[in-house]
Amino acid sequence: MNTKRIVILLALLIIGAGCAFFGAVTGTILTMNFVNNQQPSSELSTLPQAATSEPNQLFVDNSNIETTITRVVNQVEPAVVTVVGTVSGRVSFFGVSPDQEVSGSGVIISESGYILTNNHVVEGTDDLNVIFNDGSNRSADLISRDIFSDLAVLKIDGPIPAVAKFGNSDNLKPGESVIAIGSPLGTFRNSVTVGVISATGRSIDSGKGYSMDDLIQTDAAINQGNSGGPLVNLAGEVIGINTLVIRGSGSATNAEALGFSVPSNTAQKISQEIINNGYFARPYFGAAYQSITPRMASFYDLPVNWGIYITDVGSNTPAKQAGLRQGDIITKIGDFPIDETHSFVNALFNYEANQTIQLELIRNNQTITTEITLGEVTYQ
């Protein structure tokens, strides 16, 4: 091969490589410009109609979302407080244990100074204080609480820095962006975490004979101390009250990003009744019972796998007035059978105090139906 031909071949190779490199670089730049030149959107752009010639695209303008989050935090954060309680020391054989300090979060929901938080934050406390976003603090009084929804209402006197606004939790969809604000570990006041709604309508077993139903699941980080703080949408509305997180135990069941919140519609109903009446009334039955499971039914040769076995009937109670007896097996409350998906307590909570409902029960191997007028119980 002569020298001239070698030079020509080398030139062609260099030109080809340069074109390939230029094409690759140009392609990268075009892709970036394509993304960056999209029209800004507050959240997610809608998919174009099928009749248009534009390709389907789903685009997020990160800078705009960050601006929205910052705006929402600035709007809601002044209404978020740290709740600090003191649990007095207990006397035991070894002496008196020292006082303990517990903490959580809360959100101001009224110009009159009412604050919504979790029951487990204030349960057992003797003194309560709230710390505002600016670091100032004020004493608070416990108005009332509802252990089954894990909600409590406090009240403070004096000027109110801000009031949070409730949103409609019935309209929530998985994938919506949400913001959790609270005081993790009681130290990092008004921390902000961001995530999405993972699911709605979740049920979590409380371990106390009832489940917490209709919870919002989110992957926004919720830690100890966040309890009672608000879960907020991008409109700046409180759509949930953060209440618990599941982390699992053991290497095989470890879990991340499993936070749960009480829906705002539930929280608003309960808190408003507490504000209006000083308490939230739950229906009262008036009998002691043992829950029946398939294992228990098999062991004791019971006629049903699910239900409750009445072990005692209180005097002058709704159960006594309805004629219930020890040994009765209740299998249905109103429209709700008692089974693996409906505990007795949760079936009962579908009805109001002082409401008359039907019970289906087994007595002496006979299925009978009777009525009961539910009483009223409150937790101060």
Determine, yes or no, domain membership for 345. Answer: yes
Contact call for residues 304 and 339 (beta carbons, < 8 A): no
Query: Is there a single domain that holds both residue 171 and residue 272?
Result: yes
Contact 282, 146 (CB under 8 A): yes
Structure tokens at 177: 């962006």
Catalytic residue among 144, 149, 177, 227: 227
CATH of the domain at 105: 2.40.10.10
Q: Are residues 270 and 237 in the same domain?
A: yes
Nearest to 221 by CA among 252, 260, 188: 260
Which run of H or E residues covers position 376? Answer: strand 375-377
Distance CA 271, CA 278 (A): 10
* Boundary-marking domain end, from 277, 294, 328: 277
pLDDT for residue 50 = 33
Structure tokens at 327: 């040994």
In a domain, 334, yes or no: yes
179 and 242 in a single domain? The answer is yes
| Same domain as 367, residue 289 | yes
Contact predicate 259/242, CB 8 Å: yes
Do the Cβ atoms of 68 and 234 come closer than 8 Å?
yes
Number of folded domains in the chain? 3
Same domain, 185 and 209: yes
Residues 132 and 188 in one domain: no
Catalytic residue of the set 61, 103, 105, 120? 120
Tell me, yes or no, if 342 is annotated catalytic: no
Q: What is the pLDDT of residue 11?
A: 40
Residue 118 belongs to a domain: yes
183 is catalytic: no
Bridge partners of residue 205, in order along the sequence: 211
pTM score, whole prediction: 0.73
Catalytic residue, chosen from 146, 150, 213, 328, is: 150
Whether 170 is catalytic: no
Judgement on whether residues 125 and 192 belong to the same structural domain of the protein:
no
- Using alpha carbons, select from 55, 30, 32, 33 the residue that is nearest to residue 45: 55
- Could you tell me if 177 and 192 lie in one domain? yes
Range of the domain at 107: 73-89+98-155
Torsion region of 297: left, alpha or beta (phi above 0 gives left; psi -120 to 50 gives alpha): alpha
The CATH number that applies at residue 293 is 2.30.42.10
Q: Give residue 190's pLDDT.
A: 78
Q: Do 144 and 202 have their domain in common?
A: no
Q: What is the pLDDT at residue 371? A: 97
Q: Both 230 and 326 in a single domain?
A: no
Whether 143 contacts 114, CB under 8 Å? yes
Angle CA 91–95–97, to nearest 5 = 65
- Domain for residue 313, yes or no? yes
Structure tokens of 124? Answer: 């057992």
pLDDT at 23: 40
Question: What is the identity of the amino acid at 352?
Answer: E
Q: Which letter, b or e, does each residue of 192-204 get, where b requires 16 or more Cβ atoms within 10 Å of its Cβ?
A: bbbbebbebebee
Among the three residues 277, 297, 325, which one is the final residue of a domain in this structure? Answer: 277
Whether 121 is in a domain gets the answer: yes
Whether 23 is in a domain gets the answer no
Cα-Cα end-to-end distance for the chain: 100
The one-digit pLDDT tens for each residue of the chain (380 residues) are: 444 443 333 343 333 444 343 343 333 222 223 233 333 333 333 223 333 334 334 444 556 777 889 999 999 999 999 999 988 767 666 666 777 788 899 999 999 999 999 999 999 898 999 999 999 999 999 999 999 999 999 999 999 999 999 999 998 999 999 999 998 766 677 789 999 999 998 988 887 777 888 899 999 988 777 889 999 999 999 999 999 888 765 555 565 668 999 999 999 999 999 999 999 999 999 999 999 999 999 999 999 999 999 999 999 999 999 999 999 999 999 999 998 878 898 889 889 999 999 999 999 999 999 999 999 988 76
CA dist 118 and 202 (Å) reads 18
Contacts of 310 (CB under 8 A, 6+ apart): 287, 288, 289, 319, 324, 325, 326, 327, 328, 329, 330
| β-bridge mates for residue 147, sequence order | none
Domain boundary among 130, 155, 180: 155
* Model pLDDT, residue 338: 94
The pLDDT value recorded for residue 49 is 33
Do 119 and 211 fall into the same domain?
A: no
225 & 133 share domain:
no
In a domain, 326, yes or no: yes
The verdict on residue 51 lying in a domain is no
Alpha helices for the chain (secondary structure H):
3-36, 62-76, 119-122, 264-277, 294-300, 318-321, 344-348
Q: What is the DSSP letter of 285?
A: -
